[in-house]
Amino acid sequence: MKKLAANFRYVGEALEGKPVLKGSDGEFIAGYCSNLGTTDASSQIDYLNERKAYIKKHKEESFADYKKCSSLYVRIFLMLGVLIAVLLA
């Protein structure tokens, strides 16, 4: 596994158990890497499918947050730009 990870920057560190990310993301990656190759193939496939569903769920939640807040951020920065233009004029 380490030979495969040699070309990737953080995969080798994650496989060795070093923290790559902090918080719940770090715990997810550490658990994911520690479980790779530890059980039989069918259990491994079930585990990977479960992790895939978990990632998909969080991806959809974060996209919903993005859609909800993106227009707000655009308006805030537009107002900031107008404010700076008025102050400089």
Domain boundaries, the chain: 2-88
pLDDT of residue 2: 63
Mean pLDDT calculated for residue range 9-38: 76
> Could you give the angle at which helices 23-35 and 41-88 cross, rounded to 10 degrees?
160
Q: At residue 20, does pLDDT exceed 70?
A: yes
With a pLDDT cut of 70, the percent of the chain lying above it is 92
Mean pLDDT calculated for residue range 14-25: 76
pLDDT of residue 1: 61
